[in-house]
Amino acid sequence: MSTTNSTYNFGMIGLGTMGRNLLLNMADHGFSVTGHDKSEKMLQLLEEEGKAHNLKGFAKVEEFVNSLTSPKTIILLVPAGKIVDDVINEITPLLNEGDIIIDSGNSYYADTTRRSKELAEKGFRFFGMGISGGEEGARFGPSLMPGGEKTAYPVIKDVLEAVAAKVNGEPCVAYIGPGASGHFVKMTHNGIEYAIMQLLAETYDILKNGLGYSNTQIQQVFEKWNNGRLKSFLMEITKDVFLFKDEKTGNLLVDEIKDQAKSKGTGKWTSQIAMDVEVPLNTIDASVAARNLSKLKDLRVELESAFGKAGKIENVSDFEAQLEEAFFFSMVSAYAQGMHLLWKASKEYNYDLNMAEIAKIWRGGCIIRAEFLQDMYEAYQKDPNLEHLYQDAAIQQKIQTGLKHTRSVITASITAGIAVPCYAAAITYFDTLKTGRMPSNLTQAQRDYFGAHTFERIDSEGVFHAEWNKLS
């Protein structure tokens, strides 16, 4: 497929649903764009769906690159991993110094760091840009997290601000920082997403199996919550799930879906990297583990037969209101942990992240958009150097009111045998973080006893070792 227009401002490589939708979004806003894909089917779909803008694509990468104006700006929306390197290696011989490459897939941040350095050495400007919002967001307004060479951002700023979601007229995009900062922020976003999704799943379990609610009652709970302070994209789609009928059986589709959750790895990356930089992510870690537990279906069925099913939650008076409080507290925990990771990574990797801007661009377009994001934004506006959201007085007040109910919900669920790993992790994280003196002195004593790893004292400076074997 070819075109006579050779003056496109932006090019997209990868015309699957996400890439095609983002390209259509750009065209809707008046930008001259084109695409490249090796699949004739994808090129035909671009032409059909972009008929209003006379969009065309190229099957040959050379024709595609040559059709772009300078500096040539190419966005990649291809699967993360080796294929990104393959595409970069294919197009760089056709580019000139100063041209811009933007990887918009869910690439691992260390790969983006490597690519940034390699391409900078060759004179190219590279961005790793996180995109959140799914297919619908790409088409009508995603949240965008571009990180890379700051001098190149003015070249792409107008198009990104035009296609991004808007909240109060403000675009949900901002320059994130150098190197892999954009992909790091998107990865952390996904970690928070894992945690909130698991909290919703645990809430569903409590309502269905602990309280004996029908699907209709569960839908009504989520709908009511979505009309209040828990309003969010994930809450909104969850309430809709409990309305969707399966064409095959006539039942609600959710009841026909296997209880084995899949993942693409970004949640796992968040936990792994947090371990590397020594930031605890208890709630996010628990959500990753819960997905892995869900995959052990045969073992779970066997052990349920051996030990019995969970029971019902007793004394349920006002339990629904308590559960709402518990969800809010635990949701805040997920956001707080993710933002604490970003605070630490900003220092560790010299990203110089603007935490208020990150909270601001997450308010719309992205999967974790929620009413609470405004509270987060205001907290970081008041104190740009805020280490942890729990330090903000307004947020302290919001979570303090629900602590008693959170403990009650977790206690009742555990007593009934209902697994609530994320709820439990949220309260444990909180309780540990507010403990002035942890029992870790015993851990240090043990380490020194068996491995001579030394310890520090509370009454004097320095590093010490005790002759513990004198006890024997």
Q: Which of the residues are catalytic?
A: 186, 193
Sign of CA dihedral 10, 11, 16, 18: negative
CA atoms within 13 A on the CB side of 346: 18
- Cα(280)–Cα(277) distance, integer angstroms: 9
> Which DSSP symbol is given to 53?
G
Say which residues have a Cβ less than 8 Å from residue 300's Cβ, sequence separation at least 6: 293
Q: Residue 171 burial by CB count (10 A; 0-12/13-18/19+): exposed, middle or buried? A: buried
Backbone angles phi, psi at 171, to 5 degrees: -70, 140
Question: What six digits make up the tokens of 101?
Answer: 């490459």
Name the one residue in this structure whose structure tokens are 């300078």. Answer: 70
Distances in Å between the Cα of 16 and the Cα atoms of 29, 53, 76, 252 are 20, 18, 11, 30
Please answer whether residues 332 and 196 qualify as being in contact, where contact means their C-beta atoms are separated by less than 8 angstroms.
no
Task: Return the closest-CA partner of residue 203 out of 93, 325, 306, 85.
Answer: 325
In degrees, rounded to 5, the angle at the alpha carbon of residue 105 between the alpha carbons of residues 183 and 99 is: 85
Long-range CB pairs of 120-123 (<8 Å, 24+ gap) are 120/149, 122/92, 122/97, 123/97, 123/98
In degrees, rounded to 5, the angle at the alpha carbon of residue 361 between the alpha carbons of residues 81 and 233 is: 85
Amino acid at residue number 139: R
Terminal alpha carbon distance of the chain: 84
Query: Under DSSP, is residue 166 helix (H, G, I), strand (E, B) or coil?
Result: strand
- Cα(321)–Cα(428) distance, integer angstroms: 21
Say which residues have a Cβ less than 8 Å from residue 353's Cβ, sequence separation at least 6: 176, 177, 181, 185, 342, 343, 345, 346
Question: What six digits make up the tokens of 309?
Answer: 């099913």
